Structure 1
């Protein structure tokens, strides 16, 4: 995977987090609380300013009340 492909993948993950969150009518703060992840971290993930560790991604996906298969479908 080339560097720009990695960046695109990280961007897709951020978009996906935002999409799932908004579909559930959650704010970033709501998701942060449900995920036990700092709200600023949610903001950075959604804007692709940082990439998530697997631990953080797991927490966020669980906070979105979905599973990895559903979350990554289409990425």
Structure 2
């Protein structure tokens, strides 16, 4: 795969339209299911918008699909080189995530970064499990009202459907590897 030539916005839009039509869901219905405006959904499908990760999670929860379903994975061997242009950003550009791999239809891998002095919250599909590996610095992860202080190389596993918040209280970016495991593809 030519990573440098991948246009994530167009790819996500095409896959979203394909999934929505296969499920026989109108834009209006998806808007109601995801709480994302019909106008925004249309722009995403046409590749005219670069959606935030928050919007993508809402759409995926509305469709009951994993985030990686919106990215095409077709190679037997895949190498993803780091590129600052291949990511989805949070609403305030304080959270970045690179969808990397989808394995066997139920596991997806992401590379993520949380900016200094910021936080980001999310939850995933029911029955999902998330595993987070801290690659540098320190991270506070709040899961279900409980705070966990994590340092470089620490790993945590929790129910992805629970609201969880990543908090970076330091002056440096914190990089993470995330695995999302779903009970069904």
TM-score normalized with structure 2 length: 0.36
Retained in 1: the 8 A contact 2:9–2:50? Answer: yes
1:73 shift after superposition: 4.9
Larger Rg belongs to:
2
Gaps of 5+ in 2: 75-185
- Counterpart of 2:66 in structure 1 is 67
**Between structures 1 and 2, the one with greater strand share:** 2
Per the alignment, residue 24 of structure 1 pairs with: 23
Q: Distance in 1 between matches of 2:70 and 2:11?
A: 11
Q: TM-score by structure 1 length?
A: 0.83
Cα root mean square deviation, aligned: 1.8
TM-fit CA distance, 1:69: 3.5
Displacement of 1:25: 0.1
Aligned equivalents of 1:12 and 1:70: distance in 2? 11
> How does 1:23-62 map onto structure 2 within 5 Å?
23-62=22-61
Structure 1 stretches (4+) deviating beyond 4 angstroms? none
C-alpha deviation, 1:67, in angstroms: 1.1
Distance, in Å, in 2 between the alignment partners of 1:22 and 1:54 is: 22
Quick check: which one's helix share is greater? 1
Match of 2:14 in 1: 15
For these two proteins, the number of residue pairs brought into alignment is 72
Any idea what the Cα deviations from partners look like across 1:18-70, whole Å, max 9, x if unmatched? Answer: 01100100001111110000000000000011110000000011111111234
SS where residue 48 of structure 2 aligns? coil
The CA distance in 1 between the partners of 2:68 and 2:47, in whole Å, is 21
